[in-house]
Structure 1
């Protein structure tokens, strides 16, 4: 393993891999040049598709997206970033596709896509997980008979206050807010999205007053006002993720707000693009500015790394692609570098 230089930022990449092939990759990005490389990798996990680091950076939580889902806990060596398996817990659900950690590091959340349920685990010593403190199974369906035949909890994450956990259920066209009460999930509010929208992922703006949801099935973003004290979302805007006149099938995937809070990005599978929106700093509303090719197929997940570089995981072309973000207007410019990886689906920066 080549030593990591001071110019390099580390990130882990999750993939769709079988347990007998490399599935979790530690990668390095040179913030000066944009060049990426694989530092090391590990096997032993079926479909380690979604990853989340603990706030202190010492533990990596991995969703094993299988019929009998698990969350695995790895201790990260601070000096080498090598991973050591510490714990694994079943999620009592099928196809967990999302995992997140509370800001205080005390709770780990996971969502089971196929079975439509969500979980909470308390965090113990060395980042290990205690016995599941909450398990909630959703019921119902949506209007899209192929994709919404039942509940599909696609993401769960704590709100900025840490009082609530917010779930996007693609199958129900609902955003469900739970109160987090000593590790239990208590239903607080249920908010309907447009029929057939398919809410997938949600991000909060750095000011905590606005939130944005990417809707997978109708290729839109919904902008919300967020009342942190009341755990309440108010819809402000629905806007397409696709360029005008787009033809062909496709689904939206991921969504990120830039650290400066002026730009929002979303990925389109099928169109294979990242759309840039400018965020109105008074209202939180979005204006679509530009669509940039991801130079690959099926951009699943992407993330913004230190140095203002956006890295896209192109699942079906087996590569990561880097783009420099303009500080002035947020536009993306391919920095000339790609990294070949098998079926990449998630990027988790080591901050």
Structure 2
């Protein structure tokens, strides 16, 4: 197997190298740090351009920023292009649409959903559109207000799903590919106090899998042609016998459409599920994440490795995947400051 190049974001300070470029060796799973770049405070989430030549990072602070970069893995270079205001406090998630022409982001504390144009040179343009969420939920500590936590495109469509942890909703928006305007279409209500955070689509069927941060559950939905979600299944992500604190964080579907994985912070594990023909899941089990506080992870193309960003132990862990679909062995652990995002450069 050949090498795979990865980018990581973190909760590092502006003076540290908060964004790093890594090489993962395909045979051994060994991670090698190639370079890092500083000058950005808490560069938490990263979206890679479809061409793989540039990316955008969020500076997750009050009055945050969106920062674009060129990346050249083989020459070990990352070069900043430009910055724009995130139009709200604590931008938590960013995505680049399939055309590479629009940048969509959400601000956790600002409760805004924002659209910026992306230019051919990788630069972020001025704000094109914005929608503000309102409301809250029953958990007064976490759901005092609306807290949109992610925005993710429905594959092949100009439709985007926004998971709002604060209001227990997943909303569907249509993007105008000409102007960047967002039109609200639908909203589905999760369990009260669930706190929807991230989601991931099946690669070939109309199913989407959503992870709830607050109550540590996973929800399965069928997606209509218009982007409406119909509930299919609810599953726990930690054992009933576990009495400690836990918040679930990331979710991903394998590229072959056979498995779903989700991370637990507190129980510090990766939960694995097998996808059935009707889109519902069968629980396979839990695997240690190789560190503390697995906030994010990435499946490496080929589905043989899973790289976990363990925020609290300041480590990246490479987990070997077994033929049963579960991570089985922690092959490699490297130290890096508070990693919170891992992205493959396509």
Q: TM-score range by the shorter chain?
A: over 0.9
CA distance in 1, matches of 2:157, 2:336: 35
| 1:276 correspondence with 2:272 | yes
Q: Which runs of 5+ in 2 are unaligned?
A: none
What SS is found at the alignment partner of 1:310?
A: strand
Q: Which residue of structure 2 lines up, in the alignment, with residue 135 of structure 1?
A: 130
Q: Which residue of structure 2 lines up, in the alignment, with residue 3 of structure 1?
A: none
Q: Which runs of 5+ in 1 are unaligned?
A: 1-5
CA distance in 1, matches of 2:158, 2:78: 31
Provide the TM-score with structure 1 as the length reference. 0.95
Conserved in 1, the CA contact under 8 Å of 2:91 and 2:105?
yes
| 1:253 correspondence with 2:259 | no
Deviation at 1:314, TM superposition (A): 0.4
Backbone CA RMSD of aligned residues:
1.2
Aligned ranges 1:59-98 → 2 under 5 Å: 59-77=54-72, 79-98=74-93
| 1:172 correspondence with 2:163 | no
| 1:52 correspondence with 2:50 | no
Aligned ranges 1:186-335 → 2 under 5 Å: 186-227=183-224, 229-280=225-276, 282-307=277-302, 308-326=304-322, 328-335=323-330
Aligned length: 343
Deviation at 1:203, TM superposition (A): 0.7
Deviation at 1:34, TM superposition (A): 1.1
CA distance in 1, matches of 2:143, 2:273: 28
| 1:21 correspondence with 2:9 | no
Conserved in 1, the CA contact under 8 Å of 2:290 and 2:330?
no
Q: Deviations over 1:22-48 (max 9, x none)?
A: 100111111101111111111100000
Moved over 6 A (4+): none
Provide the TM-score with structure 2 as the length reference. 0.97
Conserved in 2, the CA contact under 8 Å of 1:31 and 1:306?
no
Alpha-carbon spacing, 1:144–1:270, altered in 2? closer, same or farther (3 Å): same
| 1:184 correspondence with 2:181 | yes
Conserved in 2, the CA contact under 8 Å of 1:47 and 1:66?
yes
CA distance in 1, matches of 2:255, 2:23: 20
Q: Deviations over 1:191-239 (max 9, x none)?
A: 1111000000011110141001000011000000111x21111000010
Shifted more, 36-45 versus 126-135: the winner is 126-135
What SS is found at the alignment partner of 2:28?
A: coil
What SS is found at the alignment partner of 2:23?
A: strand
